[in-house]
Structure 1
Amino acid sequence: MEAKTRILVVDDEDRIRRLIRMYLEREDYQVDEAENGDEALELAFTNDYALILLDIMMPGKDGIEVCKEIRDKQDTPVIMLTAKGEEAHRVQGFEVGTDDYIVKPFSPREVVLRVKALLRRSTTAGSFAPGANSAKEIIEFPHLSIDQDAHRVLADGKEVSLTPKEYELLYFLAKAPDKVYAREQLLKEVWKYEFFGDLRTVDTHVKRLREKLNKISPDAAKMIVTVWGVGYKFEVADES
């Protein structure tokens, strides 16, 4: 029998945990619960979760601290649960590596859809591939290589550890060099947001992506170019 996809739900409110759990279990996910940050970290580091749903505001260690500690050790996809008035915290969440966020009060069906979308994008190689006929898709540039089948990025020959969303953003930009994308376009294409979403989501992910690339290859980091007043593009420098 195939093992169920395992998800960790972290929230200090029992009612919210039970509600999310009920809807996810209806979709045949296996769900574990944690009511505080310390419990969440213990579970996250001793189990193999496909995704973590994490509340920002909790007593003790909050979601920002928990996400930062998780990101220091692993790239498990994280969806942050936030209240409407916590916009600054959402930005902090993206800065420490959150992949997505859901604003409370939320529809349980929205949670299920966001979970499915993030799991699909983080586990299915070729989600942005232009065609299924190519045996292996590797995009090669000077200083940077992206293996779409393996979801692996090399900068100057060294592997770069990226979250699923950071990888998707890099791949989406790199598959169309010199094409400029507005932030709104990137939210729609990479995050699948059409009518909601904070534009700073894009900015914080670009910032983190550049920082990770720059630690290994400043030349690779320079390929992600800001087009002021518009958005971003992937630019390949002329090495001739």
Structure 2
Amino acid sequence: MTDRHRAAISDTDRADARAIWDFHQMGHQLRPCSAAITLGSLDLGVATGTANLYHSGMFPVVVFTGDTSSATQERFPRGEATHYREHAISLGVPDEAILLEPKATNTGQNIGFSREVLENAGIAVTTLLLISMPYMQRRAYATCRKLWPEVEPVCTSQPLSFDEYVTTHDDEKQLIDMLMGDMERVMEYPKRGFAIEQHVPERVRDAFDRLRTRGYDSWLLPT
């Protein structure tokens, strides 16, 4: 992270970003599940966390899901799911425990296409471990509950605070923009039929509004 990026972000901005970050955490009790779905992203740490969870006995099979996007094409040119799979194998996850879903380009497709992959493999799913970046937990949960209401989702990610996660990211401004993008989708996607409705505390809405006013808007939905 450059001094320019750091200097442009006030302590108030960071406090608001932490409020949104904390809201994105579902706080689910981690427990073994029938299967896991790991949502592709620009963070290879999600695949590292998946490998750790597999070795802890949290699931017998995982679907790595995701094509590329404008944010990940340079980092993962062969697709998010493919790079995640290769990284997990390098960390000792056996190939036979991995299913690949390489076409999804949004969270709804991550869930829907992965469901098809699991069903086609004959895997009965009653509980589902959803593994994502920390700030995607709530949106992943809401999407899964809408599209696959028969299963019980357990959301998890690497156990990092906002301040810890910032140290793994090159651009703090971009990270807060991404937090904002997920926050807006949590609020707006239920209206579009993409996710279930969730209560958003007023303090979180206020933090979102302040950050939007301050220009943290590059990942917000098109108007």
Greater length-normalized contact order (CA 8 Å, ≥ 6 residues apart): 2
What is the TM-score normalised by the length of structure 1?
0.26
Structure with more of its chain in strand, by fraction: 1
What is the TM-score normalised by the length of structure 2?
0.28
